[in-house]
Amino acid sequence: MAIETINPANGETVETFEAHSADEVQQRIAAAHDAFHQLKSTTYAQRAAWMHATAEILEADVDKTAEMITLEMGKPIAQSRAEVLKCAKNMHFYADNAESFLGAEALDDPSSVNAASAGTVWQPLGVVLAVMPWNYPLWQVIRFAAPALMAGNTGLLKHASNVPLSALYLDELFERGGFPTGSFRTLLIGSREVAAVIEDPRVKAVTLTGSEPAGRSVAATAGQVIKKAVLELGGSDPFIVMPSADIEAAAATAVKARVSNNGQSCIAGKRFIVHTDVYDQFVDAFVAKMNALTVGDPMDESTDVGPLATESGRTDVADLVDDAVAKGAEVLAGGGAPDRPGWYYNPTVLAGLTDDMRIVMEETFGPVASVYRVADRDEAVRVANQTTFGLSSAVWSNDADEQDWFVGALDAGAVFLNGMTVSYPELPFGGIKDSGYGRELAAAGIREFCNLKTVWKA
Ligand code: NAP
193 carries an active-site annotation: no
Give the pocket of ligand 1 (CB within 6 Å).
1, 131-135, 140, 158-161, 190-191, 194, 209-211, 214, 217-218, 232-235, 266, 363, 365, 391, 431, 435
Pairing of strands 269-275, 237-241: parallel
Measured CA to CA, the distance from residue 428 to residue 423 in angstroms comes to 8
Q: What is the pLDDT of residues 204-222, one digit of tens each?
A: 999 999 999 999 999 999 9
pLDDT for 132 equals 98
Tell me, what's the pLDDT at 27? Answer: 98
Contact of 91 with 142, CB cutoff 8 Å? yes
266 is catalytic: yes
Residues in the chain with pLDDT values less than 50: none
State residue 136's pLDDT score. Answer: 98
- pLDDT 10s digits, 17-34: 999 999 999 999 999 999
222 vs 71, 127, 200, 203, 208, CA distance in Å?
Answer: 34, 14, 11, 10, 11
pLDDT of residue 1: 74
**Domains of the chain by range and CATH?**
3-233+433-457 (3.40.605.10), 238-417 (3.40.309.10)
Which of 207, 209, 311, when mutated, tests ligand 1's pocket best, judged by the most ligand atoms within 8 Å of its CB?
209
Q: Which is the catalytic residue, given 83, 266, 362, 363?
A: 266
CA distance readout (Å), 217 to 173, 201, 365: 29, 19, 21
How much is the pLDDT for 438? 98
Distance from Cα 181 to the centre of ligand 1, integer Å: 27
- Give the pLDDT confidence score for residue 298 in this predicted structure: 98
DSSP string across 321-349: HHHHHHTT-EEEE--S--SSSSS----EE
